[in-house]
């Protein structure tokens, strides 16, 4: 059974850093690209970052470029999102997702991903 479980979400002050983790099971992570999405109340789910199967390429949403870093550890079957300089509008439920392909090129729509975790809440306070 394919599962993705996120962890690491927390309440943090603006300007601080936080690292999210995504533990994958039921499949071999290094066959797929992995991404992080987020969804704030009343807003659509948006792609934050994607990393290709071997980590050789990545994608970042415009709002997080230069602040967030996506990484992966294929031996551990885990993915990570390191977030720095957190801002109030980074507050959202963060999801880990398995991409339908090995790379991150192309669109980053919800339909481009086939398995999702339940999400981990990140709340940034002033």
Question: pLDDT per residue over 11-43, tens digit each?
Answer: 999 999 999 999 999 998 899 999 999 999 999
pLDDT digits (tens, 9 = 90+) for 43-87: 999 999 999 999 999 999 999 999 999 999 999 999 999 999 999
pLDDT-derived band at 8, boundaries 50, 70, 90: very high
* 36, 81 contact by CB (below 8 A): yes
Average pLDDT of every residue of the chain: 97
Confidence (pLDDT) at 35:
98
Nearest one of 1, 7, 61 to 35, comparing CA atoms: 61
CA–CA–CA angle 75, 77, 79 (5° rounding): 115
pLDDT digits (tens, 9 = 90+) for 85-126: 999 999 999 999 999 999 999 999 999 999 999 999 999 999
Measured distance CA(88)–CA(44) in Å, rounded = 17
Burial 27-45 (b: 16+ CB within 10 A, else e): eebbebbbbbbbeeeeeeb
Confidence (pLDDT) at 62:
97
Measured distance CA(101)–CA(91) in Å, rounded = 28
Confidence (pLDDT) at 104:
97
Neighbours of 75 (CB within 10 A): 8
Confidence (pLDDT) at 67:
98
């Amino acid at each position: 059974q394919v599962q993705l479980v996120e962890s690491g979400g927390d309440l943090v002050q603006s300007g601080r850093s936080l690292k999210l983790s995504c533990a994958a099971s039921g499949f071999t992570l290094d066959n797929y690209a992995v991404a992080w999405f987020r969804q704030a109340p009343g807003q659509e789910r948006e792609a934050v970052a994607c990393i290709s199967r071997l980590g050789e390429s990545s994608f970042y949403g415009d709002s997080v470029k230069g602040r967030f870093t996506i990484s992966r550890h294929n031996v551990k079957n885990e993915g990570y999102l390191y977030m720095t300089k957190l801002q109030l509008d980074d507050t959202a439920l963060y999801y880990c997702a398995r991409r339908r392909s090995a790379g991150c090129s192309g669109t980053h729509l919800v339909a481009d991903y086939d398995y999702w975790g339940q999400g981990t809440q990140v709340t940034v306070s002033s």
